[in-house]
């Protein structure tokens, strides 16, 4: 038995793997593989249409919000966002609350001015900055909703006088939010939505078309919207895996139902960590992520022992990010509660041994 706590690419539902495998051999009883059908056939058009419709349904998006499946990962959005929203000399406001947000800031500077409204760099991004002001003259405000590497998460949507942009790569569809408060949301698929190779972008079309630079077609959200995410060959298989995962999520009862399970998973592991003095959660309590649980040990010399024990018991992917150290346990939608139960039992066992 393997318990997959990988941070991304990460666990997906077993049924998704089964269905995706079947589609490689024989897609919808066509005798063809999903890998060999034209993207402009009705076979694939149906996949794209259903995936987009499911995103709109699961996130309860209004009619201004367009759903796109694009190439390039979330890292491409770091520059595609400012390219589309920021003319030279204009300013984008950014919250600097983790490694990924820092990268978004770096890329935005290529296209305009960046106003970092607050940063938690002073404490290695172990908390979410609060009490900052978003300048009304900024073109947009960008933040990372869940800091995958450091293990912090925004637990409320900031009030913003300007369009709101969020990198939701590692917590999209994990909890109910008013997604219509955002003007642009992006997420690499490989954490909560599907396979690596595709990006989900949700954009309020009202904010587009205002920038004065010329955009390469592949970088222009408006052209992608006009072409239904098929400006060129989309990542066909990755989109299909998204569709299967979205169907699975709907079968679970949608975002509200998965949120309940996600809450149980994160409560169980944080309660366990708090009750066992050998372990040391590393981020501010009120900002703890429900997706990526980061902790270390009071005695760093024990870390290798715990890692070895986890390995022996089939716990995969709990080593912390190389820049943070310690441990990181990722609890994405498809991770079953039983995996968290198994891990917390192991933690208790380890703590007893090393009390």
Ligand X SMILES: *Cc1c(COP(=O)(O)O)cnc(C)c1O
Which of the residues are catalytic? 100, 167, 191
What residue number has its CB nearest to ligand X? 73
The nearer residue to ligand X, 148 or 174, going by C-beta atoms, is 148
Task: Decide if residue 107 touches ligand X (CB under 6 A).
Answer: no
Closest distance between ligand X and the C-beta of residue 273, in Å?
22
The nearer residue to ligand X, 37 or 175, going by C-beta atoms, is 175
Tell me, letter by letter, the H, E, C secondary structure of the chain: CCEECCCCCCCCCHHHHHHHHHHHHCHHHCCCCHHHCCCCCHHHHHHHHHHHHHHHHHHCCCCCEEEEEECCHHHHHHHHHHHHHCCCCCEEEEEECCHHHHHHHHHHCCCCEEEEEEECHHHCCCCCCCCCCCCCCCCCEEEECEECCCCEECCCCCCCCCCEEEECCCCCCCCCCCHHHCCEEEEECCCCCCCCCCEEEEEEHHHCCCCCCCCCHHHCHHHHHHCCCCCCCCCHHHHHHHHHHHHHHHHCCHHHHHHHHHHHHHHHHHHHHHHCCCEEECCCHHHECCCEEEEEECCHHHHHHHHHHHHHCCEECCECCCCCCCEEEECCCCCCHHHHHHHHHHHHHHHHHCC
Task: Decide if residue 235 touches ligand X (CB under 6 A).
Answer: no
Q: Binding ligand X by CB under 6 A: which of 82, 112, 151, 188?
A: 188
Closest distance between ligand X and the C-beta of residue 33, in Å?
25
d(CA 184, CA 101): 15
Closest distance between ligand X and the C-beta of residue 74, in Å?
3
- Extract the tokens encoding 187: 């997420």
Q: With CB under 6 A as the contact rule, which of the stretches 165-173, 204-212, 238-246, 262-270 interacts with ligand X?
A: 165-173
d(CA 111, CA 108): 6
The nearer residue to ligand X, 97 or 276, going by C-beta atoms, is 97
Task: Decide if residue 170 touches ligand X (CB under 6 A).
Answer: yes
d(CA 252, CA 44): 25
Q: Binding ligand X by CB under 6 A: which of 126, 169, 330, 333?
A: 169
Q: Binding ligand X by CB under 6 A: which of 8, 82, 194, 235?
A: 8
Q: Residue with structure tokens 């390039």?
A: 72
The nearer residue to ligand X, 8 or 235, going by C-beta atoms, is 8
The nearer residue to ligand X, 170 or 266, going by C-beta atoms, is 170
Q: Binding ligand X by CB under 6 A: which of 100, 127, 248, 295?
A: 100
d(CA 213, CA 87): 7
Task: Decide if residue 144 touches ligand X (CB under 6 A).
Answer: yes
* Contact flags string 61-90 toward ligand X, x per CB under 6 A: ------------xxx---------------
Closest distance between ligand X and the C-beta of residue 76, in Å?
7
Q: Binding ligand X by CB under 6 A: which of 148, 204, 289, 339?
A: 148
The nearer residue to ligand X, 75 or 180, going by C-beta atoms, is 75
The nearer residue to ligand X, 193 or 343, going by C-beta atoms, is 193
Q: With CB under 6 A as the contact rule, which of the stretches 164-172, 213-221, 239-247, 251-259 interacts with ligand X?
A: 164-172
Closest distance between ligand X and the C-beta of residue 148, in Å?
3
Interface residues with ligand X (CB under 6 A)?
8, 73-75, 100, 144, 148, 167, 169-170, 188, 191
């Amino acid at each position: 038995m393997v318990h997959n706590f990988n941070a991304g690419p990460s666990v997906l539902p077993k049924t998704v793997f089964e269905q995706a495998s079947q589609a490689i051999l024989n897609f919808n009883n066509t005798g063809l593989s999903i890998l060999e059908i034209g993207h402009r056939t009705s076979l694939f058009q149906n996949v794209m249409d259903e995936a987009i419709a499911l995103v709109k349904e699961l996130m309860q998006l209004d009619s201004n919000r367009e759903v796109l499946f694009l190439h390039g990962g979330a890292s491409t959005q770091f520059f595609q966002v400012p390219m589309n929203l920021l003319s030279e000399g204009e300013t984008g406001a950014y919250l600097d609350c983790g490694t990924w947000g820092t990268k978004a800031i770096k890329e935005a500077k290529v296209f305009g001015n960046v106003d970092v409204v607050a940063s938690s760099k002073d404490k290695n991004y172990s908390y979410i900055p609060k009490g900052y002001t978003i300048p009304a003259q900024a073109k947009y405000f960008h933040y990372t909703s869940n800091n995958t590497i450091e293990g912090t998460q925004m637990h409320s949507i900031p009030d913003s006088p300007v369009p709101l942009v969020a990198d939701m790569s590692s917590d999209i569809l994990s909890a109910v939010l008013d997604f219509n408060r955002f003007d642009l949301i992006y997420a690499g698929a490989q954490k909560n939505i599907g396979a690596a190779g595709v990006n989900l972008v949700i954009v309020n079309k009202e904010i587009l078309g205002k920038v004065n630079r010329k955009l390469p077609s592949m970088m222009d959200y408006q052209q992608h919207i006009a072409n239904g995410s098929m400006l060129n060959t989309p990542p066909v298989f990755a989109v299909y895996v998204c569709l299967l995962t979205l169907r699975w999520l709907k079968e679970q009862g949608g975002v509200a139902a998965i949120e309940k399970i996600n809450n149980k998973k994160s409560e169980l592991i944080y309660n366990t960590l708090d009750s066992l003095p050998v372990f040391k959660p590393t981020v501010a309590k009120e900002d703890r992520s429900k997706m990526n649980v980061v902790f270390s040990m009071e005695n760093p010399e024990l870390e290798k022992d715990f890692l070895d024990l986890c390995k022996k018991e089939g716990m995969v992917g709990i080593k912390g990010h190389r820049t943070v150290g310690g441990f990181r346990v990722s609890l994405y939608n498809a991770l079953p509660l039983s995996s968290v139960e198994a891990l917390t039992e192991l933690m208790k066992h380890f703590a007893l041994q090393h009390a």
